[in-house]
A and B are shown apart, each in its own frame.
Chain A
């Protein structure tokens, strides 16, 4: 059915306009005045000028962008931003962080040792005082008896 159907559709190609209509319509159309030719040329000229101007404008903008990027005043930017872009600075920053960490640890150990010693001394003193108090209490009890 499929190929027969396509063959039938192809037969529709036999449809053609009448010769009288074709001739009269052609004559009317071709004698119809249309916009003068100079308008077409003027329009084409404007189109070409616009395209050329746009292309040149884009080229100038690209040149400006490329020129600006290569001559960017980096020193005028934020110091944080500059250091973040420099690998040497980054290494130094990393090293100083490590160093600071070591210093902080030393300080902690130093302070904590003193505090622990003081705390131990306090404990020993309190134990000794407690013993003395107990001795005094026992003496008082003996005297009282």
Chain B
């Protein structure tokens, strides 16, 4: 969370682009990771992230604090954009049918990660989880969001989030083991 975030948001709501720029700089990386881990392709992730922040800028006056940080609102937008993406482009990129080649789309950081076979396996295994499990796993363990924040993003109770997390971890372990090679 940004320092003086409420003030920055208020200024952005009043139409000051430089303040929205501060929000953009702070939240770009986590939102990009969230989207990239769900769509796998760099170009698609960039397009979606651009749409997410554009939508946030256009509709920022609709944001009400209500005890949740700005990131929860951004993750909600991101989640809906990804759902729309898979609805419209399912024929081209189905999350269940993504092959190893698709996971190695050119990306400076992605190439570095691909050098590590274990990481590649983790990424691949995450993609095989269902949507809720992916969301919880990424938000909880990659982005360190609290259960309260995740429950606000996914519109589920904290108990449900804990249950999804437990199942996600179990599924992830079994998916990784199913690759046949001894992991870690």
| B-binding residues in A (CB < 8 A) | 1-2, 4-6, 8-18, 21-22, 25-26, 28-32, 34-37, 39-40, 43
- Collect the chain B residues with CB atoms within 8 Å of residue A39's CB: 61
Residues of A within 8 A of B183 (CB): 1
Complex Cα spacing A30 to B18, Å: 8
Chief secondary structure at chain B's binding surface: helix
From DSSP, what is the main secondary structure of chain A's interface residues? helix
Q: Are B109 and A14 in touch, CB under 8 angstroms? A: yes
**How many Å lie between the Cα of A6 and that of B14 in the bound state?**
41
Question: What are 26 A-B residue pairs whose CB atoms fall within 8 Å in the complex?
Answer: A1-B173, A1-B184, A4-B184, A5-B173, A9-B122, A9-B126, A9-B141, A11-B116, A11-B119, A12-B122, A12-B138, A15-B37, A15-B109, A16-B29, A16-B33, A17-B32, A22-B28, A28-B50, A29-B57, A30-B17, A32-B58, A37-B14, A40-B13, A40-B15, A40-B61, A43-B61
A40–B14 CB distance below 8 A? yes
CB-nearest residue of chain B relative to A6? B141
Partner of B57, one of A10, A14, A22, A30: A30
B interface residues (Cβ-Cβ under 8 A, vs A): 13-15, 17-18, 20-21, 24-25, 28-29, 32-33, 36-37, 45-46, 49-50, 53-54, 57-58, 60-61, 107-110, 112-113, 116, 118-119, 122-123, 126, 137-138, 141-143, 169, 172-173, 176, 183-184
